[in-house]
């Protein structure tokens, strides 16, 4: 292996290879000499000035591993020589010899420097000398310059100034000899100091002795005086080097002759190049490492010089924890044509008399030790095996005596692969990689999984078996693989470790707590949201499980259903796709793996109780049947008992003996029929019962047994309500906790030390309790205790839930996400407690306000089922919580664009509320506000205006003008006015609302930004584009700068901003922004949502002028969704506007008759539904005029144009966009030759 570059080493020899003409073998000579010098341990830099097709880099390319750092000073000097001081820096390409025997760097590679000059420019002598000094102090032993052929004076001056030696290459013809000698003399004349000349005659053919002798004499005569002078500072003189004639392929193909020569014949080329390398080294013999037979054989086979068919054999030995790296390596070697043997331990290959070359992939220090012993044995043989160590990222323990170490972290994938192939002399240019193989350092795109097990003892073989089984099963359409076994055997830990070791083999890794159906649905909802799956009419589970339909980003996935009843989730499992599904369960099903206790469970005991000796740990492990969970709890208890006894003054040996004997005696007395986990838990509880703090730990654990086994946020455990429950019933053990909340931390630590639960004190601390422990605690409770503890847990959850009046609570989102995972475990859905039911109502509202389409669809059936439950259990006339829950269900339907269903729900609630509360009660008004939104979405604008007007006035009377609910109602009232056709009044009203909001909540509030967005919309519609842009930009800046993102509002603003730009004629900017908004709406709401469709219609308007065919397709798709998917009637204003837009697009596509039909249908529907005075109707009439004129019916267009203009003057302002367009059309109809105008109408968000 070459030593690193060190400027303190002896000065560098700079040697130029020149030729007066082409075809001299000059570049081949540079490549071979560089190779031999590198193989002798010399540090070599090749400077490539040749512009010929075959460069030195081409000769060395099979061993190219990437770029190298040759030092800033050297590169700066070289750049100055080639381009000037300010030029772009050149790169240095590194080539590494097989077996780590040396390396050669090349600067100036033609295809690696972005078109930079390949020959030097003219400089003054001082500049040359400065660059020469940089070359000679660069840390390289030799700098070899491959100069282009010819007698260019600038090139000659550069060589003369920079070099110590010049190698003159030429063929044996008389003219070539004379031209070469002339060039050599010119360079000698230009050189500032003595310059050695080495003549090299190539393709020298000694088969004709007379001719060969004549050539020798001619060379001697031409170079005589130059050969007679000794080298500077020595007594040696240069010699003529003869490169013998050789078959054409080896001599002139870009291959290294010293590797390509037939080993069964005399190595005449190698000997000649060895002599030349000696001359380049100043006449001092070099000693290159001989080329191993296997490397020469691979090189010759790679260039077709050998017919040997024996496969290359390389073994891969790996530590189990880094198996994925071994698989990645295996695929690359197989792709390079290698026969690979995978070895899982050193013992498999130490005994092999002729072991293959080997790559050892190691993990941490523990796993590296056995490989270190094996490597020493292999390398210590008479014929040592070639062993390379591959260090994955994050690992740094190098094995002793390996041939080479390849640290992936420092190199990256491409360089690591090149170094590996170069090391073994595998020169295949293209490595064919299996489609599944990928670089393990890249990791998955999406990950949701628990923490990695802190320790996993005795399970490496099980993880390997799981991997083998999944690979044999293949991916996609096979049944989920079950990991079954008794509780506490370590199923979850096993699959969690698999999820970490092999995560990089997947695009998505997602852990699904499956102890109850609610948890499965919640996890799948999160997954669907992260995957942006929003198809209409599909549940979140379906969306999440069809991962493969999202495209290449999520090609492969790993879903883990933990602690599952297979029958209970059968409809929530994937049925297709290129992924793997694992289920941990106590029910064995096929296909599956039954997990048994590990053979070395005593090591688990030792991990937690290191004070015990081997014999004691074996006895303890046997007592707990080898179950990992039981062994862990036992170890924790033993360590704690020993600690306490030592604190009382006992010697450690005495404390250990007493603890072991007491544990064994007590567990032996337990119920033999009970499982080991149950016996150990019972034993721990008896121990904790002996102290006040221990009893409090039990009380806390009993309460947490009704919460999710995935963990409980410690912030939930610290609330006052939980403290009250722990000290309820006059519990004297709670006195300390009543007075000091820090006492809870002592309780947590006590329970943790005894193994009852675990506390993770990371950034967001949580308490975790194994499901087996939870179930055992419940089973040990006396009559009535389970119901009481469950009720206490529910009281705590309800107290933790944010109320409806604190939606701006900083940790509101985090609290509801925490509460979500406890709904199923706690039995909250079956509770009659009003506090719990209030929490569930607000939880449902959280899904609506903070969710996305996937979440809305997932929770909608669950909330609907809860509504039915409450209807059966409570009196609707008096149960306000039922009404509020129905409100949230209506909100979800409305958010999904299902306005008719939402309207029916709101009407059902309104009928009850108007009887039981009053028409003016705020809760009644909230429902009425929702009903108005339903009416707007269904296109009943006049009815919506009446409802919004009444609701706003009643809110103002009941809660005051400044109340947030009143302000929301004012916003809706302005929107209703806009939809009903009074755009000016809508703008005035919203501007007044905005001024009040600025006073009440300030400029940095969501309500203020919503108001600005509406102002922008209304101002745009009346033609005040400057006001619209200002309002929209201000709102967008506010939303993007907010600490909590509001994706829905941001998309709305971007969309409205794009519409405004289009109306101003800035079409390209408009199209870009609309496209971005449309993609966002598709992801956030789904492709068939009314808002998404409206945004797509805006994009059709953007495309109309530049791509009318595409515009027609977009509008037709919108019509299909409106009329078929959403079941909107033809009379719906949005369908009518869509037909109007279709007429515009058809006219742009020159389908004039179809355009008239569509435009007329749109205009008539709007005229019937809204009125002839509505701005949308007038716009549709204007568009109909333009369509008629384009179709050739100018007379009809003229009549309609004049009438429409009169209507615009009667109902709109003179500067309204519709009025202006109608004026132009009327002028055109009168022969004004102004052209027919149409006008866009974009469907708003209601």
Torsion 610-612-614-616 (CA) sign: negative
Under 8 Å between Cβ of 72 and 168: no
- Of the pLDDT bands very low, low, confident and very high (cuts 50, 70, 90), residue 395 is confident
Highest averaged pLDDT of the listed ranges 229-243, 539-553, 600-614? 600-614
Burial, 429: exposed, middle or buried (Cβ in 10 Å; 0-12, 13-18, 19+)?
exposed
- Region 451-480: what's the mean pLDDT? 84
DSSP classification of residue 581? E
Under 8 Å between Cβ of 446 and 509: yes
Residue 476's region, left for phi above 0, alpha for psi from -120 to 50, else beta, is: left
- Region 205-229: what's the mean pLDDT? 88
Residue 474 or residue 1090, greater confidence: 1090
What is the distance, to the nearest Å, from the Cα of residue 253 to the centroid of all Cα atoms in its chain?
45
The rounded distance, in Å, linking the Cα atoms of 714 and 725 is 15
Cis peptide before 1016 (omega within 30 of 0): no
> Is pLDDT above 50 for 551?
no
Give Cα separations from 142 to 33, 42, 234, 794, 896 (angstroms).
Answer: 10, 7, 18, 79, 73
> Is pLDDT above 90 for 978?
yes
Burial, 595: exposed, middle or buried (Cβ in 10 Å; 0-12, 13-18, 19+)?
buried
> Is pLDDT above 80 for 86?
no
In 116-241, which residue ranges form alpha helices assigned H by DSSP?
125-136, 153-162, 174-190, 209-228
Under 8 Å between Cβ of 1205 and 1198: no
- Looking at the chain, the whole-number percentage of residues with pLDDT higher than 70 is 91
> Is pLDDT above 70 for 538?
no
pLDDT, tens only, 94-142:
999 888 778 999 988 655 555 566 678 788 888 888 888 888 888 899 9
Mean pLDDT score across all residues of the chain: 88
Helix, strand, or coil here: 380?
coil
Predicted local distance difference test score (pLDDT) of residue 1037? 94
The rounded distance, in Å, linking the Cα atoms of 972 and 981 is 14
Strand 241-244 versus strand 196-204 pairing type: parallel
Domains of the chain: 15-281 (3.40.50.300), 311-423 (3.40.50.2300), 446-594 (3.40.50.300), 602-685 (no CATH), 897-979 (1.25.40.10), 1129-1246 (1.25.40.10)
Predicted local distance difference test score (pLDDT) of residue 250? 46
Among 209-218, 563-572, 767-776, 912-921, the minimum mean pLDDT is found in: 563-572
Burial, 1031: exposed, middle or buried (Cβ in 10 Å; 0-12, 13-18, 19+)?
buried
- Kindly report the number of other CB atoms within 10 A of residue 785's CB atom: 13
The rounded distance, in Å, linking the Cα atoms of 68 and 72 is 11
Predicted local distance difference test score (pLDDT) of residue 751? 94
Under 8 Å between Cβ of 937 and 893: no
- Of the pLDDT bands very low, low, confident and very high (cuts 50, 70, 90), residue 550 is very low
Helix, strand, or coil here: 242?
strand
> Is pLDDT above 50 for 534?
no
- Of the pLDDT bands very low, low, confident and very high (cuts 50, 70, 90), residue 253 is low
User: Which of 670, 511, 710, 684 has its CA nearest to residue 608?
Assistant: 684
In 938-1066, which residue ranges form alpha helices assigned H by DSSP?
941-959, 964-980, 983-1000, 1006-1021, 1025-1040, 1047-1063
Predicted local distance difference test score (pLDDT) of residue 302? 81
């Amino acid at each position: 292996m070459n030593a690193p570059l060190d400027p303190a080493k002896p000065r560098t020899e700079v040697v130029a290879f020149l030729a007066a003409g082409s075809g001299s073998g000059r570049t081949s000579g540079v490549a071979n000499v560089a190779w031999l010098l590198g193989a002798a341990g010399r540090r070599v830099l090749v400077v490539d000035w040749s512009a010929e097709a075959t460069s030195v880099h081409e000769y060395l390319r099979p061993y190219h591993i990437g770029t190298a750092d040759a030092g800033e000073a050297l590169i700066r000097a070289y750049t100055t020589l080639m381009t000037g001081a300010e030029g772009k820096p050149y790169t240095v390409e590194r080539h590494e010899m097989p077996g780590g025997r040396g390396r050669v760097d090349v600067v100036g590679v033609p295809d690696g420097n972005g078109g930079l000059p390949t020959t030097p420019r003219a400089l003054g002598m001082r500049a040359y000398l400065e660059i020469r000094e940089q070359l000679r102090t660069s840390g390289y032993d030799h700098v070899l310059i491959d100069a282009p052929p010819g007698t260019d004076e600038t090139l000659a001056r550069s060589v003369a100034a920079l070099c110590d030696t010049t190698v003159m290459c030429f063929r044996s013809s008389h003219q070539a000899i004379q031209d070469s000698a002339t060039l050599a003399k010119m360079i000698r004349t230009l050189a500032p100091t003595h310059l050695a000349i080495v003549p090299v005659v190539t393709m020298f053919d000694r088969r004709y002795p007379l001719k060969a002798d004549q050539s020798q004499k001619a060379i001697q005569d031409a170079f005589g005086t130059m050969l007679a002078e000794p080298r500077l500072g020595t007594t040696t003189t240069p010699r003529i080097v003869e490169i013998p004639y050789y078959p054409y392929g080896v001599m002139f193909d870009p291959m290294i002759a010293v590797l390509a020569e037939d080993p069964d014949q005399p190595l005449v080329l190698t000997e000649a190049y060895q002599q030349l390398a000696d001359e380049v080294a100043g006449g001092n013999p070099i000693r290159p490492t001989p080329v191993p037979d296997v490397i020469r054989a691979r090189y010759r086979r790679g260039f077709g010089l050998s017919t040997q068919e024996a496969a290359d054999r390389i073994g891969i030995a790996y530590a189990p924890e880094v198996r994925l790296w071994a698989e990645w390596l295996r695929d690359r070697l197989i792709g390079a044509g290698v026969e690979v043997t995978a070895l899982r331990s050193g013992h498999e290959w130490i005994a092999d008399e002729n072991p293959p070359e080997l790559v050892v992939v190691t993990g941490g220090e523990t796993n590296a030790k056995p490989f270190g012993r094996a490597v020493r044995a292999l390398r210590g043989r008479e014929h040592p095996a070639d062993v390379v160590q591959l260090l994955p990222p994050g690992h740094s323990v190098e094995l002793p005596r390996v041939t080479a170490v390849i640290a992936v972290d420092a190199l990256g994938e491409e360089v690591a692969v090149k170094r590996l192939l170069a090391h073994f002399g595998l020169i295949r240019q293209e490595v064919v990689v299996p489609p599944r193989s990928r670089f393990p350092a890249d990791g998955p795109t999406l990950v949701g999984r628990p923490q990695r097990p802190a320790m996993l003892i005795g399970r490496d073989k099980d993880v390997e078996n799981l991997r083998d089984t999944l690979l044999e099963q293949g991916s996609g359409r096979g049944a989920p693989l079950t990991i079954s076994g008794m509780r506490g055997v370590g199923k979850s830990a096993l699959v969690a470790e698999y999820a970490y070791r092999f995560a990089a083999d997947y695009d998505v890794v997602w852990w699904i707590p499956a102890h109850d159906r609610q948890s499965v649905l919640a996890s799948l909802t999160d997954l669907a949201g992260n995957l942006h799956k929003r198809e209409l009419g599909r549940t979140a589970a379906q969306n999440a499980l069809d991962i493969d339909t999202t495209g290449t980003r999520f090609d492969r996935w790993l879903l883990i259903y933990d602690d599952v009843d297979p029958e209970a989730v059968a409809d929530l499992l994937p049925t297709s796709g290129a992924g793997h599904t694992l289920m941990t369960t106590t029910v064995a099903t096929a296909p599956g793996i039954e997990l048994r206790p590990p053979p070395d469970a005593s090591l688990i005991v030792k991990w937690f109780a290191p004070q015990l000796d081997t014999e004691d740990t074996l006895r303890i492990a046997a007592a707990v049947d080898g179950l990992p969970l039981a062994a862990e709890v036992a170890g924790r208890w033993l360590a704690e008992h020993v600690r306490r006894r030592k604190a009382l003054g006992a010697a450690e040996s005495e404390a250990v003996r007493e603890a072991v004997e007491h544990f064994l005696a007590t567990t032996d007395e337990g119920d033999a029929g009970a499982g080991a986990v149950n016996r150990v838990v019972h034993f721990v509880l008896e121990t904790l019962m002996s102290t006040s703090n221990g009893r409090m730990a039990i009380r806390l654990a009993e309460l947490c047994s009704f919460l999710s086994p995935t963990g409980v946020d410690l912030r939930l455990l610290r609330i006052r309500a939980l403290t009250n429950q722990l000290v309820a019933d006059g519990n004297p053990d709670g006195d300390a906790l009543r007075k000091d909340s820090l006492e809870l931390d002592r309780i947590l630590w006590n329970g943790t030390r005894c193994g009852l639960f675990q506390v993770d004190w990371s950034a967001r601390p949580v308490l975790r309790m194994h499901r087996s422990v939870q179930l055992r605690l419940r089973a040990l409770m006396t009559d009535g205790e389970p119901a009481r503890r469950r009720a206490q847990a529910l009281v705590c959850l309800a107290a933790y839930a944010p109320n409806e009046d604190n939606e701006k609570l900083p940790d509101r989102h985090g609290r509801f996400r925490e509460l979500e995972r406890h709904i199923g475990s706690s039995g909250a859905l079956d509770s009659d407690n009003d506090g719990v039911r209030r929490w569930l109502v607000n939880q449902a509202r959280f899904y609506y306000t903070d969710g996305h389409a996937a979440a809305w669809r997932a929770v909608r059936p669950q909330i609907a089922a809860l509504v039915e439950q409450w209807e059966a259990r409570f009196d609707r006339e008096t149960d306000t919580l039922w009404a509020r829950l129905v409100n949230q269900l209506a909100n979800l339907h409305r958010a999904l664009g299902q306005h008719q269903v939402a309207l029916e729900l709101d009407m059902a609630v309104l009928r009850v509320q108007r009887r039981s509360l009053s028409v003016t009660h705020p809760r009644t008004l909230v429902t009425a506000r929702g009903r108005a939104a339903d009416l707007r979405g269904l296109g009943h604008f006049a009815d919506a205006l009446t409802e919004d007007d009444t609701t706003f006035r009643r809110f103002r009377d009941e809660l005051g003008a400044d109340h947030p609910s009143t302000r929301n109602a004012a916003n809706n009232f302005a929107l209703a006015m806009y939809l009903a056709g009074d755009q000016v009044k809508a703008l005035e009203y919203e501007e007044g609302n905005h001024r009040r909001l600025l006073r009440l909540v300030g400029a940095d509030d969501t309500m203020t930004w919503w108001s600005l967005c509406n102002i922008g919309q209304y101002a745009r519609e009346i033609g005040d584009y400057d006001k619209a842009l200002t309002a929209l930009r201000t709102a967008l800046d506010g939303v993007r700068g907010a600490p909590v993102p509001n994706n829905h509002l941001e998309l709305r603003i971007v969309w409205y901003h794009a519409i405004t730009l289009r109306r101003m004629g800035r079409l390209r900017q408009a199209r870009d922004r609309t496209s971005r908004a449309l993609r966002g709406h598709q992801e956030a709401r789904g492709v068939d949502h009314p808002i998404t469709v409206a945004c797509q219609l805006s994009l059709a308007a953007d495309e109309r002028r530049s791509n009318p065919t595409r515009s027609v397709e977009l509008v037709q798709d919108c019509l299909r969704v409106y009329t078929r998917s959403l079941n909107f009637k033809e009379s719906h204003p949005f369908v009518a506007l869509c037909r109007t837009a279709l007429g515009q697009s058809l006219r742009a596509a020159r389908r004039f008759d179809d355009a008239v039909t569509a435009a007329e249908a749109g205009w008539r529907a709007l005229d019937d539904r809204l009125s002839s005075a509505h701005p949308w109707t007038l716009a549709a009439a204007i568009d109909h005029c333009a369509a008629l004129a384009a179709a050739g019916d100018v007379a009809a267009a003229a009549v309609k144009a004049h009438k429409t203009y009169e209507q615009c003057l009667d109902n709109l302002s003179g500067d309204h966009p519709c009025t202006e367009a109608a004026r132009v059309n009327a002028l055109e109809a009168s022969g004004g030759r102004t052209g027919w105008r149409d006008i866009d109408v974009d469907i708003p968000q209601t």
